[in-house]
Amino acid sequence: MIFAESLSKSYGRARVLRDVSFIIGDGERVGLVGPNGAGKSTILEIVAGEEEADGGKAGWRGGDMGFHHQEARLQPDHTLVEELWTAFPEARAIERDLASVAARIEAGDGDLDALIEEQT
């Protein structure tokens, strides 16, 4: 679940967010639509913990959150895969888990059903 409750944010005298509240339930898909400068990126940055709100609270519950900026904040020495790992750290952990299971299957290590059960 992703949530925002009474968010407000200003940059200098420009008020970008005023009393923004929402809840996005697990499995829901939503779109954040508005003109340039409406505060869409600011909302996402506050929810991800990369920007501080002037008022209210926001965040997520249940699981990891990956976030990749629309602006070019890429590391020049990173590959695309490394950038994705930065945005979605759980992907690297999943990849390691799958490699471990594959190695154990190849080695004939243990009960196949037990290996699968460990990963679910």
**Residue 51: exposure state from Cβ atoms within 10 A (0-12, 13-18, ≥19):** middle
DSSP code of residue 86: H
Same domain, 85 and 113: yes
Same domain, 52 and 17: yes
When pLDDT is averaged across residues 39-67 and rounded to a whole number, the result is: 87
112 found inside a domain? yes
Does pLDDT of 88 surpass 90?
Answer: no
65 found inside a domain? no
How large a percentage of the chain has pLDDT more than 70? 88
Helix (H, G, I), strand (E, B), or coil: what is residue 19? Answer: strand
Does pLDDT of 47 surpass 80?
Answer: yes
Number of domains in the chain: 2
Helix (H, G, I), strand (E, B), or coil: what is residue 2? Answer: strand
pTM, entire model: 0.57
The CA distance from 20 to 41, in Å, is 13
Range of the domain at 40: 2-60
The CA distance from 21 to 16, in Å, is 14
pLDDT tens figures, 68-87: 666 666 778 888 888 777 77
How large a percentage of the chain has pLDDT more than 90? 31
Nearest to 47 by CA among 104, 9, 84, 76: 9
For position 19, what pLDDT does the model report? 97
Nearest to 37 by CA among 67, 59, 11: 11
Average pLDDT along the chain = 84
Same domain, 52 and 91: no
| Chosen domain end from 31, 60, 89 | 60
Buried b (16+ CB within 10 A) or exposed e, 85-111: bbebeeeeeeeeeeeebeeeeeeeeee
